Each structure stands twice: as C-alpha cells, then as structure tokens.
Amino acid sequence: MSAAAEGEAAIGRRKAAMGTFERYLTLWVALCIVVGIALGALLPSPFQALGRMEVAQVNIPVALLIWAMIVPMLLRVDFAAMGQVARHWRGIAVTVGINWLVKPFSMALLGWLFIGWLFRPWLPAGQVDSYIAGLILLAAAPCTAMVFVWSRLTDGDANFTLSQVALNDAIMLVAFAPVVGLLLGLSAITVPWDTLILSVGLYIVLPLAAAQVWRRSLVASGGKALERTLKALHPVSLVALLATLVLLFGFQGGQILAQPLVILLLAVPILVQVYLNAGLAYVLNRQCGSAHSVAGPSALIGASNFFELAVAVAIGLYGFESGAALATVVGVLVEVPVMLSVVHIVMRTRGWYERR
C-alpha cells in the first residue's frame, strides 16, 4: 500500500478510533455555552451559591468535578512505560523540548502579541492580563488523555506514546508551577503563589498519586479489571466536563453576551500555537531520523494541551468570572477540530516525511 493510501486509510479510521463524544466535542462545548448562559441569566442565585462554596480558596463543586475528569485520564498512565524512554530517545527529546521549552514560552509571546497588542482595542480592558494568564495556563501542561486517540489516528507507536505521556506527567509534577509562575511574572501578571501551589497539589499531585494507587490495585486483581473500570468511568468523566463548562458559562454569560467577539479573538493565538508547535516537532523528528510512527504522535503531543487542568487552575487562581477561565475554555472549544486537522496533515505528508 502506498504512503498516500495508508494516510487515507488512517483518516478513514477516525470514527472507529474516536467515540461519539470526542468526535463532536466542539458541538457539545457550543451547547454548553448556550445552556450555561441561559441558566446563568434565568437562575443566577444557584450559580452564585455554588461560587461561594469555597474552602481555602478552592471551590468545592469545581474540585469534585475536576477530579471526576482527571482521575480516569491519569488512570491510563503507566509509569513503568518510562523504561521505554531510551528506545525512542530522539522522539522523546524533541517532544519534551517542545512541551516544556517552546510551547509555554511561545504561547506567552503569542498572547502578548495578539491579546496584549493587536486585539487589545476589541477586548475588555480589565480582562486583557487575565486572558493572557489563561492562555499561559493552557499551554503550560501537555495533554495526557486525548493524545492516545491522536496517536492511534496517526498510526503512532503505542510504546512511544505511553512512555512520553508518563514522562510528561512526571515532569509536570515539578515543572508546572515554576513555569507558570515564571511566565506570569514575565507578563507582569500577579502570581498568587499560595493558590498556585495549592492548585498543583490538588489537581496534579493528589489525583496522580490516587490514580496510580488505584491502577496498581486493579492490575494486581488480574483479568480485565482495569479495562472495565476505565470503561465505566468514561461517562463520569464526560459528564463532569460538561457540568464544569455549564458552570463556567453560567458565570461568564454576561461578559460573553457583551463581547461575543472575545471567543473568536482568543482562539487565534491558540490556533497559531498548535500549528507552530506541531510543525516544529514534526520537522525536528524528521531531521533527527525518527520513524513516522514516532513523529506523528510527537507532533500531536507537542501541540495539545491538558485543558482540564488549565480550567481547574484558572478557576482556582482567578475565579469563575475571570478572563483566564474563559480563555482556557476556548481551548476546549477548538481542541478536536484543530487537532484532527493536524492528524490530517501528518498522514497526508507521510510520503514526504519518509523520503529522507
């Protein structure tokens, strides 16, 4: 089979690899915008009551929803796969470099360029810094769940993808807070360090530890216990995501109705960042001599974001009604269509990639 034909076949398997929810994530997010805005306008009191349910600056309903989203995703991560890192060291080096040395800093630069300068006249003046902070949070942690779907769609090496995700999660434990703090400081945005460190512990350290303990107990029980548990938790994770979005847009409704252009403008630096980092990872892998089965998932991992974590931390740092929270949600809105377009490009260019 030719490279072009293989690309067509992989793209044709898209529906088989993605569930109904993932395929139409953009539609569900759009519906959440409508439902959230409508409920926020019709029933403001319940939303305000939920917003006041805080302990140590942590909103309890949101914390529970975020855990319901994140833990099933982290349950898929096997840290034993880090033993495969040396086998794919070129692809690993490229992806780690893009994820931690390029992507957060390029997003900070793009946020300043587009939001802080070019688009500033069309944005609420009091929210500009908050929008930039949300974009930085969105880019500061690589995705840990949907990348498995993107890897399958690019005929990626499963061992490379698993070892890369495990390594990124290990790095995230120690690097997320310093990177975010540095970039917010460089952008002259006040860094609430106590809240940031609390958010890292609450939304990274604790769920990752809990997921690994749970995973080991499921694996030890033998059979298909882990697979059955992941399947059972999948709808819980999806419902939690949708409920979180409805809450966010319930609080954001007034701002969105007053400035409907905001969402479109926030999407611009996100789109530029995705294509920039995906393209850079793809080309660097080719220069390093990595196989296409490594370069494909590397490009997707290098471009995708852990938007669930970004949403949680944005709410914790700046609140439901902040521009930071809205900016992270725009990342959810564009995630599927833009990443599918990257998959399409990767598979269409497979012939070019392999002509070294």
3-state SS assignment for residue 55: strand
- pLDDT average, residue stretch 228-248: 81
What tens digit of pLDDT does each residue of 53-87 get?
A: 877 667 788 788 888 888 887 887 777 777 777 78
What is the predicted pLDDT for the residue at 7? 47
Q: Are the beta carbons of 313 and 196 closer than 8 angstroms? A: yes
Residue 289 region by backbone torsions, left for phi larger than 0, else alpha for psi between -120 and 50, else beta: left
Q: Are the beta carbons of 97 and 272 closer than 8 angstroms? A: no
What is the predicted pLDDT for the residue at 47? 78
pTM: 0.82
What is the predicted pLDDT for the residue at 232? 84
Mean of the per-residue pLDDT values for the chain?
A: 83
What is the predicted pLDDT for the residue at 19? 64
How sure is the predictor about 104, in pLDDT bands with cuts at 50, 70 and 90? very high
Token pair belonging to 42: 């019709």
- Evaluate if residue 201 carries a pLDDT over 50: yes
What is the predicted pLDDT for the residue at 158? 82
What is the predicted pLDDT for the residue at 276? 95
Q: Are the beta carbons of 110 and 266 closer than 8 angstroms? A: no
Q: Are the beta carbons of 167 and 303 closer than 8 angstroms? A: no
- Evaluate if residue 23 carries a pLDDT over 90: no
How sure is the predictor about 4, in pLDDT bands with cuts at 50, 70 and 90? very low
- Evaluate if residue 15 carries a pLDDT over 60: no
Both ends of the chain: CA-CA distance in Å?
Answer: 19
- Evaluate if residue 137 carries a pLDDT over 60: yes
What tens digit of pLDDT does each residue of 299-322 get?
A: 999 988 887 788 888 888 888 778
Residue 223 region by backbone torsions, left for phi larger than 0, else alpha for psi between -120 and 50, else beta: left
Instruction: Name which of 30-34, 122-126, 280-284 the model is least confident about.
Output: 30-34
